[in-house]
Structure 1
Amino acid sequence: MVAFTLKTTLPQADLLALPWDLALEDWPKEATVILPAGNHRHVVRFVPTADDFVALKELPHHLALREFEVLSTLHRNGLPAVGLIGIASARRDRAGDPLPSILITKHLRYSLPYAHLFAAPGVPSSGENLVNALTVLLVRLHLDGVFWGDCSLNNALFRRDAGALRAYVVDTETAELHSQLSRGQRMFDLQIAVENLVGGLLDIEASGRLQPGIDPFATGEHLDARYRALWDDLTQTQAVGESHLASIHQRLARLNELGFDTDEVQLDAKDGLIHFRPTIVEEGHHKRQLAGLTGITAHENQARRLLSAIRAYGVWIQDGPDPLPDAVVASRWLRERWEPTMAQVPASLRGRLEDAELYHEVLEHGWALANQEGRDVPLADVVDSYLRNVLEHHADGRLLITPQPDDG
């Protein structure tokens, strides 16, 4: 009998019908689907459920419990990671011999392992985007006292985010939970991340799939420098004279640009200097603002782009000396721009991209058409051109089928 520990309300019938009395590598092909996956040290398979897919990873029970605990903590703390479903434990084969446990997680829609990004059209796979995504993810984990222990291209998934990438934790076998990390722990975790990143990029380069212009070693050094700079911006006290107060605004702007919100700052004036340190720092500055104005759910860069579009629309519709209230502008933008765009997308193409990413691409396409034709192009014409020339050629981001997955 298979025992389950479930963390979500996924219908149990979807799981109970699976062949739990077989080793995962022996599951029949008709029970699984093939989705993009990185290289794993354990057997990984994907199975369909009533409305989605789940990922199954077979591993010793103590490791499955460890990952279960870590993923539970990550989700409680709002950190970007794959969704947790449960553990299948106490498994036995038909001869009564014990089988390893299986960790069950949600498939992260619209995500890809980094090595697969190069095969997906329109995905921003540059070294700068990669470094930014991994930097923000690693810093967020460290701020919450999480030592990852194996940050690598295989252990993260990436989503499009309006011309950038957003990284998610997918493998936490080596992770440790602490109330706070020491500098030594952080630097060791960063060293592991840099070495793994360089090694992963060298492997992709050897396979002939690395994007031209990406230097694996320089990218690793850039990750190290970006991490240190972001950590300092988030945590260090800065002493400035009154004539250099602009540097405080620049520091806050850098944090907001990466999506971190500073709900409170500490200012202490002494010795003729102002000592400044941001506090209560959270990630998600722009997506919270967008959700509050429009109700639209988006990733951070997507939200920034949509907020910029809303502001620009407010300027365009302003008919007097005073700007319209933000709520009025957002309401009209939803009614006159967002909703007509989404309504024009046929059902056969809906879901290929997340809605916010699709709108971002429509904006990019509209600017390209305007430059090409030397005139403002009506929104309906922009969307029609985008659907025919861009979106129809996108693979469905929810389900990108690849050759046989790798086991390790």
Structure 2
Amino acid sequence: MALQINATNPEHPALLLELPWQLPLEEWPEEYLVPLPRGISRHVVRYARAGDEVIAVKELARRPALREYELLRDLDRIGIPAVDPLAVVTGRTDAAGEPLESVLITRHLGGSMPYRSMFETTLRPATMHRLMDALAVLLVRLHLAGFAWGDCSLSNTLFRRDAGAYAAYLVDAETGDLHPELSVGQREYDLDLARVNISGELLDLEASGTLHPSVDPIEFGTEICARYQSLWQELTRTSVYPAGKHHYIERRIRRLNDLGFDVAEMQIEHASNGDTVTFVPKVVDAGHHQRQLLRLTGLDAEENQARRLLNDLESWMATQDDYAPGDPLGARPEVLAHRWVREVFRPTVRSVPPELRGPMDAAEIYHELLEHRWYLSERAQHDIGLGTAVEDYIRNILPKARETLRPTDG
């Protein structure tokens, strides 16, 4: 069987052909590899460079490689946070003509970290709670979309900083299945696997001495279930309100939006006596603030980053002379938003020297600067202004934090 490359982008096969497919992945020369931290995997995984892109290459049998490739493409189409599938390479043989395993190729998720790299320095319990929040949100999103993971764990997840919190991304979809809707049993099976896997991974860290002494691995494994159930209940519960209290429905929708979820449609039923209204929201995937920021500014950010940037944008718009909500003569929000990007966001981010940024993207840098401005303003008991905050951040914060901004640190 001849070498065959199935790719999502027609430009990728030509770039991928330059890689040494005649060698087993664990024997690839260093010249092809990119030294990035790798998580634990049942398969051989390497990071390599293809043109200007860094790719993750995973070696596995042909059928599961093709299946996982298609599953990741399906998740991408429905907007689930997962690694981006690029290609599958099949029909590999070594120099003697002996068959080699196929490989699945995904795009490296910039700024992301496997959980073991984050534990190279002992994480504080508060940081671990944020990781559990991110993983619970990811699992809920998958289940809302009808995806049964089958192997939820820290090892199969990548984490990116997201405005002081973390965003979780699915890495391994090999055991997953996509359905129109999941049963309670399917969700509970996934949740039980998550509990067992996470407790086991934390016990391994405890044995290696890299787990904070106050963290109980069993309790943390149980906590992921509690966080999941709380979020699932908020997103799917039926509410009964007094008739005429329509603002209660609006308040519920806003609360769902604040969690980062959209309401695609609503089922509203009036009681036969007219005294109550039953409201059942149909919640779709997270990303309310992401989509709003992208629509207004063209900036693509994580959900928490987007929420923070939108707050700053709204505050800035309120100071503009031509901002008059509801006035047809006033500037439209889209016009002001693009002015904010041009006059505030970009100049502020560019003022931070590239050599001090580490893996932080532009949205995370801007969030950090807003946080520092708030801290300095609280200390000074008045708004010190963004410019002053940027200067102090560059002079006093970034040089000290440079080591902690490396991808291998937590």
C-alpha distance in structure 2 between counterparts of 1:269 and 1:308, whole Å: 36
How big is each residue's C-alpha offset from its partner over 1:41-75, in whole Å with a ceiling of 9 and x where there is no partner? Answer: 11111111221211111111122122112111111
Shift of 1:278: 0.7
Within a 5 Å distance, the mapping from 1:9-28 to structure 2 comes to 9-28=10-29
Aligned residue for 2:130? Answer: 129
**Partners of 1:117 and 1:125 within 8 A in 2:** no
**Partners of 2:110 and 2:359 within 8 A in 1:** no
Q: Match of 2:35, as an amino acid?
A: I
Greater shift, 226-235 or 325-334, is seen at 325-334
Q: Secondary structure at the match of 2:94?
A: coil
Shift of 1:227: 1.7
Aligned residue for 2:75? Answer: 74
Of 368, 378, 388 in structure 2, the residue corresponding to residue 361 of structure 1 is 368
Relative distance call for 1:121 and 1:191 in structure 2 (3 A) is closer
Of 259, 267, 276 in structure 2, the residue corresponding to residue 273 of structure 1 is 276
Shift of 1:114: 1.8
Relative distance call for 1:99 and 1:169 in structure 2 (3 A) is same
C-alpha distance in structure 2 between counterparts of 1:111 and 1:368, whole Å: 27
**Partners of 1:10 and 1:85 within 8 A in 2:** no
Aligned residue for 1:405? Answer: none
**Partners of 1:44 and 1:56 within 8 A in 2:** yes
Greater shift, 156-165 or 387-396, is seen at 387-396
1:216 aligns with 2:217: yes
Aligned residue for 2:389? Answer: 382
Aligned length: 401
**Partners of 2:80 and 2:285 within 8 A in 1:** no
Q: Match of 2:301, as an amino acid?
A: A
C-alpha distance in structure 2 between counterparts of 1:144 and 1:320, whole Å: 39
Relative distance call for 1:396 and 1:75 in structure 2 (3 A) is farther
**Partners of 1:155 and 1:171 within 8 A in 2:** yes
Aligned residue for 2:165? Answer: 164
Q: Match of 1:360, as an amino acid?
A: H
**Partners of 1:117 and 1:123 within 8 A in 2:** no
How big is each residue's C-alpha offset from its partner over 1:271-322, in whole Å with a ceiling of 9 and x where there is no partner? Answer: 5321111125332111111122222111110011111112223445569998
Q: Secondary structure at the match of 1:386?
A: helix
Greater shift, 131-140 or 117-126, is seen at 117-126
Q: Secondary structure at the match of 1:390?
A: helix
Shift of 1:145: 1.7
Greater RCO (CA < 8 Å, at least 6 residues apart):
1
C-alpha distance in structure 2 between counterparts of 1:209 and 1:247, whole Å: 47
Structure 1 unpaired stretches of 5+: 403-408
TM-score (norm 2): 0.88
Aligned residue for 1:406? Answer: none
Aligned residue for 1:184? Answer: 185
How big is each residue's C-alpha offset from its partner over 1:73-132, in whole Å with a ceiling of 9 and x where there is no partner? Answer: 111211111111111111111111111111111111111112222458999972331222
**Partners of 1:352 and 1:394 within 8 A in 2:** no
1:394 aligns with 2:402: yes
How big is each residue's C-alpha offset from its partner over 1:167-202, in whole Å with a ceiling of 9 and x where there is no partner? Answer: 111111111122221111111011111111222222
How big is each residue's C-alpha offset from its partner over 1:325-364, in whole Å with a ceiling of 9 and x where there is no partner? Answer: 6446535533442132023133444673111110000011
Structure 2 unpaired stretches of 5+: none
C-alpha distance in structure 2 between counterparts of 1:320 and 1:298, whole Å: 25
RMSD: 3.0
Aligned residue for 2:241? Answer: 240
Q: Match of 1:138, as an amino acid?
A: L
1:207 aligns with 2:200: no
Greater shift, 269-278 or 81-90, is seen at 269-278
Q: Match of 1:64, as an amino acid?
A: A
Q: Match of 1:386, as an amino acid?
A: Y
TM-score (norm 1): 0.88
